[in-house]
């Protein structure tokens, strides 16, 4: 079997890459170890930058997102007993975010690939990469797929990054002393916009998916187990952390999904080796506080598509050679913003009283200085694409 681009992983990065390549007349095969049902149900991110929205619309996979996605023009920072809105329409005019679940993006992309006759294989076993320096190929479940280029879109725990010879990559990493417990609940959102709440009990985030489905996150210990978090405890803790301003009542409902996500910052440099190109979580991870993970994956894929297009049209590897450098500027901006939002809003057990006062003072600055609020807003809505 032969294809131009062998893609490992049917997350947002792999599926979008396959679709964008198809639009340029470039063939690909996507190999995914999980089932279609599993990847379509995996609940993760929800905030799309304008650049991500534009990319999906231009690629013809944005219709449902435009119909069902919720466009937001601000977020609230809640701390010290009051809420402070960061007004995007004033600080970054014309730029907004769209709240639309990652698994809906994945469903839309899978539907588009299959409708176009794309080759997306689910439940594929033992994917391995070979001969990365020249004439690369993939093996899986007893089959061989010869490729001109391989795209490693297999997330943080995938096999493509570890297949790069040791010593070729430099890793930059930071772990955080907490995790996020995320839930999806059948209840109307209690707020029109997202609320990022910092309390002495820890951080909480109120997000949403639709007028009848809400999404919440709680800062929990890094080793937290779902067994320790029965539904009543989750609601009690969300109430304690979100009902921190006068007059705000959190509506509760049936919890339909729960999960714990570790928090880490991670970058592997460069994002390429030989004929293997890493995109999305395979190359970098951000803590979710800045809502950047999915958007970075889409940005990488856009850069890689242009580079592959030039390569297959003209034989020039100029853009491919510069792929990693072209991505890393945005990656590191998002790394800093995500780290900054995380340290601004979470409680750190190691912090003493001085550290906690500094954090509150910084929050006061961000919510009272237009320059500081603009920094937050322009990073949150995303760098221009
Ligand atoms: P992924 O979505 O991880 O896709 C990789 C795909 O590769 C998966 O389908 C996987 O099954 C497949 N794969 C892995 N190994 C192999 C293999 N050996 N062979 C074949 N296929 C393989 N970001 C936010 O902004 N907000 C959030 O709330 C948020 N929550 C998250 C919760 C969790 C549990 C995780 C893991 C991430 C979360 N993120 C969040 C980050 C965001 O979801 C990711 O940045 C985004 O999924 C990246 O897309 P991707 O396609 O690069 O990787
Ligand atoms: C969501 C996730 C995030 O990480 C975030 O910062 C905002 C919203 C969400 O899943 O809706």
Q: Is the CB of 101 under 6 A from ligand 2?
A: no
Phi-psi region at 339: left, alpha or beta (left = phi > 0; alpha = psi -120 to 50): alpha
Pocket lined around ligand 1, Cβ cut-off 6 Å:
8-14, 31-34, 39, 44-45, 102, 127, 153-155, 158-159, 259, 261, 280-281, 288, 291-294, 297
**pLDDT at residue 40 tops 90:** yes
User: Is residue 63 very low, low, confident or very high in pLDDT (cuts 50, 70, 90)?
Assistant: very high
pLDDT value, residue 155:
98
The answer on pLDDT for 123 being more than 90 is: yes
Catalytic residue among 19, 72, 284, 346: 72
Q: Are strands 170-186 and 195-199 parallel, antiparallel or unpaired?
A: unpaired
Angle CA(186)–CA(55)–CA(75) in degrees, nearest 5? 45
Count of alpha carbons within 13 angstroms of residue 180, beta-carbon side: 22
At 348, is the pLDDT very low, low, confident or very high (cuts 50, 70, 90)?
Answer: very high
For residue 13, which atom of ligand 1 is closest to its CA? Answer: 51
Average pLDDT over the chain, rounded to an integer: 97
Examine the residue annotation and report whether 288 is marked as an active-site residue of this protein.
yes
DSSP 79-111: ETTEEEEEEHHHHSTT--EEE--HHHHHHHHHH
- Cα of 217 vs centre of ligand 1, distance in Å, is 17
C-beta of residue 187 within 8 angstroms of C-beta of residue 66: no
Within 13 Å and on the Cβ side, how many CA atoms surround 133? 2
Query: Mean pLDDT, to the nearest integer, of 233-257?
Result: 98
CA dihedral 379, 152, 103, 144 (to 10 degrees): 170
- The Å distance, Cα 91 to ligand 1 centre, comes to 31
- The whole model's pTM is what? 0.97
Q: Say yes or no to pLDDT of 385 above 90.
A: no
pLDDT band at 338, cuts 50/70/90?
very high
Residue 363 in tokens: 């929050």
The predicted model gives 147-153 an average pLDDT of 98
Q: Does residue 38 surpass a pLDDT of 90?
A: yes
Mutate to test the pocket of ligand 2, among 12, 42, 194, 281 (most ligand atoms within 8 A of CB): 194
Q: Is the CB of 289 under 6 A from ligand 2?
A: yes
Tens of pLDDT, residues 350-379: 999 999 999 999 999 999 999 999 999 999
What is the percentage of the chain residues whose pLDDT exceeds 70?
Answer: 100
Across the range 334-340, mean pLDDT stands at 98
Q: What is the model's pLDDT at position 27?
A: 98
pLDDT recorded at residue 141: 95
């Amino acid at each position: 079997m032969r294809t131009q681009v062998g893609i490992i992983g049917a997350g947002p990065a792999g599926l979008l890459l396959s679709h964008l390549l198809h639009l340029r007349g470039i063939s690909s095969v996507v190999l995914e170890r999980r089932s279609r049902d599993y990847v379509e149900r995996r609940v993760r991110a929800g905030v799309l930058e304008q650049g991500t929205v534009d990319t999906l619309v231009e690629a013809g996979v944005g219709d449902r997102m435009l119909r069902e996605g919720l466009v937001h023009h601000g977020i609230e920072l809640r701390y010290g007993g009051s809420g402070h809105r960061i007004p995007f329409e004033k600080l970054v005019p014309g730029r907004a975010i769209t709240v639309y679940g990652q698994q809906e993006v994945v469903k839309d992309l899978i539907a588009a690939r299959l409708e176009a006759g794309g080759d997306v294989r689910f439940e594929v076993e033992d994917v391995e990469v070979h001969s990365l320096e020249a004439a690369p190929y993939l093996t899986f479940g007893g089959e061989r797929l010869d490729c001109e280029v391989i795209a490693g879109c297999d997330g943080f725990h995938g096999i493509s990054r570890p297949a790069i010879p040791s010593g070729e990559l430099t890793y930059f990493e930071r772990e955080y002393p907490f995790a996020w417990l995320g839930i999806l609940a059948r209840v109307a959102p209690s707020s029109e916009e997202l609320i990022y709440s910092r309390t002495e009990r820890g951080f909480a985030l109120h997000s949403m998916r639709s007028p009848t489905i809400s999404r919440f996150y709680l800062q929990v210990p890094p080793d937290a187990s779902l067994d320790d978090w029965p539904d009543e405890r989750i609601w009690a803790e969300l109430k304690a952390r979100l009902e921190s301003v006068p007059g705000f009542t959190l509506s509760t409902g049936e919890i339909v999904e729960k999960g714990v996500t570790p928090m880490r910052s991670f970058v592997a440099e460069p994002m390429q080796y030989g004929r293997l190109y890493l995109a999305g979580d395979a190359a970098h991870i951000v803590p979710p506080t800045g809502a950047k993970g999915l958007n970075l994956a889409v940005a990488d894929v856009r850069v890689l598509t242009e580079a592959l297009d030039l390569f297959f049209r003209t034989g020039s590897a100029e853009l491919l050679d510069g792929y990693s450098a072209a991505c890393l500027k945005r990656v590191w901006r998002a790394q800093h913003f995500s780290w900054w939002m995380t340290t601004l809003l979470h409680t750190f057990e190691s912090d003493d009283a001085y550290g906690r006062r500094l954090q509150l003072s910084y929050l006061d600055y961000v919510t009272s200085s237009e320059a500081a609020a603009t920094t937050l807003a322009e990073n949150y809505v995303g760098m221009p694409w």
